[in-house]
Each structure stands twice: as structure tokens, then as C-alpha cells.
Amino acid sequence: MARTTKKRARQLKHDKFRDTTLGYADRVSHRFEGRWRTILYAVAGLAALAILLSVYSWWRGGRDDKARHALAKAIEISETPVTTGTPQPGATGPTFTNERERAQKAVEEFQAVQRAYGSPYSELARYFAAVNLLTVERDKGLSELEALGRGGDNEVASRAKFALGQAREADKQYDAAAALYQELLKEKGKHVTENVLNLRLASVYEKQGKKDEAADLLFQTVKAAREAKGKDDKPLPETAAVRAAATKLQEISPERFAQLPQSSSPLGGGLPF
């Protein structure tokens, strides 16, 4: 009902705009007969253009709403908890008995969004589909992430590279994973935060047996975060990535961890990806 009311309000607003514009054109036409006919045509043309722009804006707004709703539905499916037992009475929505089944359904939903809508929804849907394909058809998912990382929307490209780096790391292709994380660290407009990238890169170093390099990177990450201050000269909140880096440093190098400045900032939010 709320959606219908909102849609009707947009229609009424558009009708009012159209009536006002055309009414003004009619009144002008009685004033500028004869030699002013050319001016009238120009005014009428501008009014027609304004009407077309209004119609397009109304149509685009409704289409964006549908695209956002479809994308949100697909994301909800991809995050649905896997249930191993009998669904609870009164439960609504789809249920999945394993991650592969859930990922397959999510891929289908994201690909439907990709086919039905334009930018930026199609790029986002393609990215989410690729991530879920890693569970269903891993090679195809990797190929899609590689393609997305080579161009198009900058944010989608960055997130595709990060997801690809995590996949390479999971496949024990540590050199490839490290190269992707380092490439993202060099980007000017980072869509994946530097602290998160440092945490993942340190993880790769540790798996490669480069314990000192991992400890150095974790130490510098946590030290910089704890010494950073906001405009009010107060410590900035520690993010989950920084806290995870501190925990990991304590695990692999208690000596370096003891050298860190004390944390005096309030807890921050979760990982930003």
C-alpha cells in the first residue's frame, strides 16, 4: 500500500507539473499571435522538453526502486543461514540445507538482476554473482572476478580484486594473493580500507613463513591507528581490522606487541567489506 501511495503521489506531482506547463503555454499563445509565433514554438518546445525530463525522472525513480528491491532480495538470499534440520513452524522465505544450494540460488537471483537492470545495479549484481560462483563453479567465479577487476566501475573493480585475492589466498597461491593486496594498497581512492588490506597481507606473509615481515606490518598498522587522532584531538575509534591485527601480532610476536602504545580509543565498527 505504501509503495502504491508513493507511486500515485509521483504521478499526481507529474500531472500537476504537466497541467501547469501546458496551461502556461496556452495563455502565452493568445498573447503572441502572428509575428511572435516563432517564439511561441520555442517556448512550447522547451515546455515539451521539461515534460519529457519529468516523465523520465519519474520512470527512472520507479525503475531504481525495483532494481534496489531485486538486488536486496538477492543479497538476502545469499546471507540466509543454512538449516540442517526441519524448518521452524511459521518460517518464511527460502531455506537451504547446504552452502552450495544457497550459493546456486543466489547466483540465479543476481544474474536475473544483471539482465534486467542497467548500471550501477548490473555491475554490482555481476560482482555478487561471481563471489557466489566461487562456491558453485569456482573456476568460472575466478574468471568473472578477474574480468571485473580489469575495468568498469572503480569500486566494483577494487572489491573484485580483493575477493580474488582472498580466493587466491584460500587456494594457497600466496604470491598471487600478495600481489593483488599490494596493488590495492597503491590505489589512490581505496574502496577497501588500508587496515583491512594490511591485515590480509600480513596473513599471507605469515603463511609464506615471513614471520618478521608479518609482525612489522601488523605493528605499524596498529601503532598508526592508536596514535591517530580526530579533529577534536581525541583518539579515533579502533576498527575491527585494527583489533584483529593487534590480536594477531600478540599471537606471532609477543615482544613486538608489548612495544605498542596503549589503546585508549573506544571500540569501532566491523570490517568494512
User: What are the two backbone dihedrals, phi and then psi, of residue 96, each rounded to the nearest 5 degrees?
Assistant: -135, 140
Q: What's the CA gap between 220 and 233, in Å, rounded?
A: 21
pLDDT at residue 46 in the model: 53
Mean per-residue pLDDT of the chain = 79
Amino acid at 244: A
Distance set, CA 194 to CA 49, 77, 186 (Å): 47, 30, 10
Tell me phi and psi for residue 229, to 5 degrees.
-130, 155
pLDDT number for residue 186: 94
Least trusted range by pLDDT, from 205-219, 222-236, 255-269: 255-269
Residue 43 confidence (pLDDT) above 80: no
Encode pLDDT of 183-228 as tens digits.
999 998 778 999 999 999 999 999 999 999 999 999 999 999 999 9
Q: Which residues of 18-50 are buried (b: 16+ CB within 10 A; e: fewer)?
A: eeebeeebeeeeeeeeeeeeeebeebbeebeee
- Confidence (pLDDT) at 65: 86
Query: How confident is the model over 72-124, as pLDDT tens digits?
Result: 999 999 999 998 766 666 556 688 999 999 999 999 999 999 999 988 889 99
Q: Where are the beta strands (DSSP E) in 31-138?
A: none
pLDDT above 70 (res 2):
no
> Length of the chain, please?
273
Q: Residue 252 has which C-alpha cell?
A: 606471532
pTM score, two decimals? 0.71
What was the pLDDT predicted at 133?
96
C-alpha cell at 151: 575495468
Cell numbers at residue 57, please? Answer: 525522472
Q: Angle between the 194-207 and 240-252 helix axes, to the nearest 10 degrees?
A: 20
Beta pairing partners, 63: none
